[in-house]
Amino acid sequence: GTTDGNGDYTIDLDSAGPGIYTVRVDASLADAYVDLYYNQTFLRSQAQGISVGSNQAVTGINFSLSLGYEIVGTVRSSGSGLADIDIDVYASNGEFLSGYPGTTAVGGTYTLGALPPGDYFIKADPDPALSQFFVSNYYGDSPSITGATAITITGTSRSGIDIDLVP
Give pLDDT tens digits for 32-75: 899 899 999 999 999 999 999 888 888 899 999 999 999 999 99
Give pLDDT tens digits for 109-122: 999 988 999 999 99
Burial group, residue 14, by CB count within 10 angstroms (0-12, 13-18, 19+): exposed
pLDDT class of 158 with cuts at 50, 70, 90: very high
Burial group, residue 1, by CB count within 10 angstroms (0-12, 13-18, 19+): exposed
